[in-house]
Structure 1
């Protein structure tokens, strides 16, 4: 997320400085510091202005930097740039709640050994502790570290989508992915179309609105029906949407294990469980948002789907 040099530059910036001042504070060459500032400016973390021949720099108003400043001021005796380098921030993103090394590795997309290696210095400084069963957690007072990691990722996501459109809403996000709503058509290989209009791929032509939905992911190449179902429930978990998801689950050969995994990832596992139970019991067990079985059969017939 950030290199040690980038964190060190951000924590060294107080008020407005020249690039030369920052280079002196970092004990780095002017050319190295200029390149560092350029990267941080591209990332929207610093702002620069020209004063004659001198370039002056200051921190941007990104909320993540406000959190970082508070953290470094409160615990000024800690060398945060060294601790937060490498995969540490990636792992801390998921320390919003105590997690096992296996879960941290899976969610942060790193090896288990990387989790231990990244958290060992934090554990040594009393920032992180490990329970008898191996679960990692943040000690009291250091919870803002995970908040900072999450806000930093959110900032990166905003920078990514703002390179494509000015009008958008991020509906869901993880460390490396996010689901976005926008009125703008985005033509970028990492923005994968999803939402209502993608039901047409499965012979279910839903009425598309002016809004467009995209999953941003550098790891995913194609949208699966399991993902589409979960995206729809993130977009809107109302009765109509749940009925459409029932149509999809009835019409397409769904991998239940994959569906469950995706549902947990997107935080809609309770709703997905209700949908599966509804189908498995032919509507005998249903929540208030699900239709009577006869009504769903009528809807399914309209779309030529056999429940």
Structure 2
């Protein structure tokens, strides 16, 4: 996430100018400003070009910069760089809906005291308030702060993928992780193969298409069957995919508590519950996209799975 200095730089950078002019505008040294520009260029938020011996800089066309400009111009009396940085953006990412401090801390992976420290200055300025249930809420007119945080994260995820491929679609994302579809192979260690190809890990050789799927995480080095099931449902929730998930759940010992937690995380709660109910009742309780029990038994037999 952005530092206070980076936010300040982005709020004052308008049009194209030299690094020297930008340093003067920021009232900082040329060396500090040069390093700052290099960091922002690496994030894809500013662009540079050489004109003779001077370096020209300008904002990129990132949507996050449009959102930042909109809110800083509309509320120009607020000193935004002092309020928006690091942990504050992490918390704002999850304030698209009212949430209590404990939930914000869990989702943003920070300490609860950090949540309070990040949001207290915003509350002091009337940007957020607390409900009677102790939930933090963005005041009317400031809801776009959460959108800004989410767009910054989305931009960062795009920058990460584009180091490996130009053709891709981000199918799901959270603050620190995302699921991407691409036609290209990605071998970087932070990208874990998932989707149909991953079923071979469990001796379930599904027909692989020309699309590949990867889960990006800087903290995980493997995927559980529960995660794979949820990834499949995010990729495609159609009848065939649900049947493949039934095969996996029948073939592998899946921790159901983890499965339900992952389903909530990926927003596929209802689909997962339908799958579990179907298996528990041997198909007697069947959602519309699930096969007849005899049909599933035939599919399972084809893959050597006991249904």
Counterparts in 2 of 1:52-131, with a 5 A limit?
A: 52-131=52-131
Q: In 2, distance between residues paired with 1:130 and 1:116?
A: 11
What displacement does 1:86 show? 2.8
Counterparts in 2 of 1:74-223, with a 5 A limit?
A: 74-223=74-223
Deviation above 2 Å: which 4+ runs of structure 1? none
Query: Which residue of the partner structure matches residue 34 of structure 1?
Result: 34
Q: In 2, distance between residues paired with 1:230 and 1:250?
A: 15
Query: Which residue of the partner structure matches residue 7 of structure 1?
Result: 7
Q: Deviation string for 1:230-251 (max 9, x for gaps)?
A: 0000000000000000010111
Q: TM-score, normalised by structure 1?
A: 0.99
Query: Which residue of the partner structure matches residue 245 of structure 2?
Result: 245
Q: In 1, distance between residues paired with 2:54 and 2:188?
A: 37
What displacement does 1:219 show? 1.2
Query: Which residue of the partner structure matches residue 22 of structure 2?
Result: 22
Counterparts in 2 of 1:277-296, with a 5 A limit?
A: 277-296=277-296
Q: In 2, distance between residues paired with 1:96 and 1:61?
A: 24
Query: Which residue of the partner structure matches residue 235 of structure 2?
Result: 235
Q: In 2, distance between residues paired with 1:77 and 1:299?
A: 65
Task: Give the SS at the match of 2:284.
Answer: coil
Computed over aligned residues only, the root mean square deviation of the Cα atoms, in angstroms, reads: 0.8
Q: In 2, distance between residues paired with 1:65 and 1:85?
A: 14
Q: TM-score, normalised by structure 2?
A: 0.99
Query: Which residue of the partner structure matches residue 267 of structure 1?
Result: 267
Q: In 2, distance between residues paired with 1:205 and 1:48?
A: 48
Task: Give the SS at the match of 2:180.
Answer: strand
Q: In 1, distance between residues paired with 2:122 and 2:279?
A: 48
What displacement does 1:94 show? 0.5
Segments of 5+ residues of structure 1 without an aligned counterpart are none
Q: In 2, distance between residues paired with 1:101 and 1:250?
A: 39
Segments of 5+ residues of structure 2 without an aligned counterpart are none
Q: In 2, distance between residues paired with 1:244 and 1:102?
A: 36
